[in-house]
Amino acid sequence: MLSFKAPRRTVLLALGLAGVLALSGCSSLTPVYGDRSTLMGQALRQAKPSSVAEQVIYQTLAVSFPISTKPADPELRISASAGERGLSLTDVARATSPSEMVVTANVELLDADGKVLHSFWRTASASFETDWQGFSSAEAKRDATDRAAKAVAELIRLSLFSALSGSRT
């Protein structure tokens, strides 16, 4: 009986390894239809950021829309602002205070001549808590600003894909 189980075990192990190797070829993350170039958006010139929120937005968008220096490419101008608002409606003293960071961005896409092709605004928010420790409160605000700016960037990215494909925003 031992001689019968050993070859069967070897055959099953060999089939299992062959199956794993066969399926490993199916695990690439490429588009099923089309080529890789359809994943990238059009190259855009970017205006200089004037705030941390704008910088985060531009950096996040650079992944989908390569930065261009060619004068013939459209220019993306973003004016973003970040504002904090408290979420607590009580005057009772607490160890922490809930707040929300709201980032709003006005976006303009201009052609090579400076004519506005598309104009829109997007907003997003991120919650955070502050406490009596100044450093942790400042870091919580910074983190919330980054999270809200990245969320706005994602909304802008989707709107730009739509605008550049010819759809309305």
Asked if residue 105 lies in contact with residue 78, where contact means CB atoms within 8 angstroms, the answer is yes
Task: Output the pLDDT for position 38.
Answer: 44
Q: Rounded to 10 degrees, what is the CA torsion of 81, 87, 92, 95? A: -70
pLDDT by residue (tens digit) across 103-143? Answer: 999 999 999 898 999 999 999 999 998 888 889 889 999 99
Structure token digits, residue 65: 């829309």
Q: How far apart are CA 38 and CA 102, in angstroms?
A: 32
Rounded to two decimals, what is the model's pTM? 0.70
Main-chain phi, psi angles of 43, to 5 degrees: -70, 135
Q: Which H or E run includes 119? A: strand 116-130
CATH superfamily membership of 39-85+97-164: Lipoprotein like domain (3.30.160.150)
